[in-house]
Amino acid sequence: MNNLEIERKFLVKKDSIPYNLKNLKSKKIIQGFIYFNPAIRVRRVDNEYFLTIKSKPNNYKEYGDLVRNEYEISIGKNAFNDLLKLCVGKILYKRRYYIPYKYGKKTYIIELDIFEKDFKGLIYAEIEFENVKNAYKIKVPDWFFKEVTNIRKYKNTELSICKNIKNVLKY
């Protein structure tokens, strides 16, 4: 199944998060990349397992990484473990928190990713949209630090092959 993913990504500083994370719904994520163009990812979300392919759609190239095709299928635990061994570079570990954000008449879900292990200290907030117009129309929360939707070094694929982790954590 082909899904169009329209998503903006922002850096967040931990001390600016206006929520007690213990009170938010969250899931543990482990992911690695088998290939990079298109991005082929295996991911564990708590006790669910997925194989995902992401690519840039030809008719949306002017939007950079804001718009991507996303194909995702559910896989079993054994398949995940086998495919994880094929991953290139670092395996990424993070906890994702889900925060409702009302803007106008619509409620969006902010996915707040707090990285662990190699990237401890890196925090992203992502918001998905139903169309490009709404992605640019929304006023994002004040606690978002810097938009990094189209900054390559903050893509998960790039993190997995990152040589200078300190450069990513400096912001």
- Domains plus CATH for the chain? 3-169 (2.40.320.10)
In order along its 171 residues, the chain shows pLDDT tens digits of 448 999 999 999 999 999 999 999 999 999 999 999 999 999 999 999 999 999 999 889 899 999 999 999 999 999 999 999 999 999 999 999 999 999 999 999 999 999 999 999 999 999 999 999 999 999 999 999 999 999 999 999 999 999 999 989 988
**Which of 154, 157, 161, 131 lies closest to 60, judged by CA?**
131
Closest CA to 68 of 5, 127, 129, 128: 5
Which residue is it, tokens 């206006």? 18
Structural contact between residues 4 and 70, judged by C-beta atoms closer than 8 angstroms: yes
**Segment (H or E) for 128:** strand 123-129
CA angle centred on 148, ends 169 and 125, rounded to 5°: 80
> The whole model's pTM is what?
0.94
Distance CA 163, CA 171 (A): 17
The Cβ of residue 88 has, within 10 Å, a number of other Cβ atoms equal to 13
